[in-house]
Structure 1
Amino acid sequence: MTDTTHNEYTLTCRFSSFDTTVDVIFNNTVDTINDCQKKNYEGFISKQDYLVPEILQQVFEYYKKSYPDYYQGWSYGNQLTKQQIEENLPTPTNAMNLKKFIEPLSVYIADNKNCEEGTFGIYFDCTWDIKSSLGVVIKKWKVAEVGTGDIAFLF
């Protein structure tokens, strides 16, 4: 499927570890994907189970550092109890506990000119940051960066 208004070629694939389907968006690609983009698409599909533990661990490390700021934001001016805040902003305990608070929505693969094998971004919805969401950048098949959602497509 091609979205000519945004110059994006889009496919979908199963993200088994999260029991969902995600859009795979090829940035600035209209008609066809090149070999590098195809390798990243196929590599994501075949290596996702291998990548998920590292993704979760790196998301946890990012979350743990950011938690005090998020907590301050959630509690500032709100009448929410700690238990109500915990429903969306859990106390950081371990990586696996965070999995139920994130949901992958899209995988972004660079255009054919900037494509590098093993490099792409994953955009997640997350309960603790409904405005900026969560992004993970994969380079050389390893987590290179975790941050707000925009890094998933601006890598």
Structure 2
Amino acid sequence: MSNAETIIEEIGLYLEKSSLKKSNITKEELITFIENKWKEADDEKYNIHQGCIYIGRMTNEYIWAKDFDNMMRWLAEDEKHISSKKHEAYIRNYYKGQCCLECGNEEKALEYFHLSYADNPDYIFERAPFCYEFFNRHLENPRELNSEIDDEPETDYYIELDYWKAFFKEEGELCYHFLDDEGEIMEDSSELQEKGISYLEDHQEEILHTMLGELLKIYPDLQKAYDYTEEYKKDCMPDIKTIKGFSGLLSPTIFYVTSVIKDDYPYIGFSFNCPWDIEHDLGFMVHKDRVVEIGDAALAFDTFIAQNDAQLR
């Protein structure tokens, strides 16, 4: 009986554990764990989709470490995976060339780019600029590249919430977006949306406490729903008695100021990284200091929830 599925799952759990806010797992320990587990798994690992994801992860780990030999070894593992058969040779060769270039081996990168170019002369010029600009310099007849840079509108805004920084023990600014009536990110904000930002700045402690207080109420039910074993519960979903317990588990990532207005204030959705659901994370929809709903991170930009609440109250 194959052991691959069980081992792939073990790798996934270890990766989740390593990404936790309080994790003490080092990069070296992570790489060693995956290397050993990968060797332990039988060849069925090449037929499991998640195995392809972990191959890509290890390839990138060695790119970041500028370890060319180990990177090439994992690219060879990628060739064995069933997913690689879905791509044409010119796509696979381009990918190898990009990895080699990122790892610092220009000679090998050029070799793979030429292989890709021979099969499809246009493909590389549709990909990453740093790749096709490098390759173009080595062509006997270089192409004329478009040097014009499109000015994209600024849609990322940042704010410092001092109380939040102290509570979560994290530095830096928090990114946010303004959403239009269709829930799409927009460049400009309305006067009432800006009023919502001012309210958040002035009431940041109250808003955070309210959100986490509501989360604390449903937290025992969430623990039952996720049903972590004792081994993982202490890291992913430990028992918590006060909102302070969330400070070491959650990290605010982004928030969205919607165009849904009630009583002259917009609904705002907040997204957090959380250890019990790394794939979907955690989201709140809030109006002033009232929590409308708690769900996954997608809730933070779900304007339908905001519109529905605005009509009901």
TM-score (norm 1): 0.79
1:22 aligns with 2:174: yes
1:139 aligns with 2:294: no
| 1:146 aligned partner, one-letter code | I
The offset of 1:17, in angstroms, is: 2.7
1:126 aligns with 2:282: no
Give the one of 176, 188, 191 matched to 1:32: 188
| 1:25 aligned partner, one-letter code | H
| 2:162 aligned partner, one-letter code | S
Aligned to 1:90: 238
The offset of 1:140, in angstroms, is: 3.7
Task: Provide closer, same or farther for how the CA distance between residues 29 and 146 of structure 1 changes in structure 2, counting only shifts above 3 A.
Answer: closer
1:52 aligns with 2:198: no
Share of identical aligned residues, percent?
18
Indicate the structure (1 or 2) with the bigger Cα radius of gyration.
2
User: Can you list the C-alpha shifts for 1:88-119, whole angstroms capped at 9, x where unaligned?
Assistant: 211233322122111111111113xx344142
Structure 2: how far apart are the matches of 1:3 and 1:93? Answer: 46
8 Å contact from structure 1 (residues 119, 141) kept in 2? no
Aligned to 2:36: none
Structure 1 unaligned spans of 5+: 76-81
Structure 1: how far apart are the matches of 2:272 and 2:185? Answer: 22
The offset of 1:29, in angstroms, is: 4.8
8 Å contact from structure 2 (residues 210, 289) kept in 1? no
Task: Provide closer, same or farther for how the CA distance between residues 85 and 147 of structure 1 changes in structure 2, counting only shifts above 3 A.
Answer: same
User: Can you list the C-alpha shifts for 1:113-135, whole angstroms capped at 9, x where unaligned?
Assistant: x3441421110111111011111
For the aligned residue pairs, the C-alpha RMSD in angstroms reads: 2.2
8 Å contact from structure 1 (residues 135, 150) kept in 2? yes
8 Å contact from structure 1 (residues 62, 146) kept in 2? no
Partner of 1:129, secondary structure, is: coil
| Length, aligned pairs only | 141
Tell which deviates more after alignment, 29-38 or 131-140. Answer: 29-38
8 Å contact from structure 1 (residues 135, 149) kept in 2? yes
User: Can you list the C-alpha shifts for 1:24-57, whole angstroms capped at 9, x where unaligned?
Assistant: 1112353321101111112112211121211111
The offset of 1:11, in angstroms, is: 0.8
| 2:233 aligned partner, one-letter code | I
TM-score (norm 2): 0.41
8 Å contact from structure 2 (residues 206, 289) kept in 1? no
8 Å contact from structure 1 (residues 37, 110) kept in 2? yes
8 Å contact from structure 1 (residues 126, 134) kept in 2? yes
More helix by share: 2
Aligned to 2:156: 10
| 2:223 aligned partner, one-letter code | Y
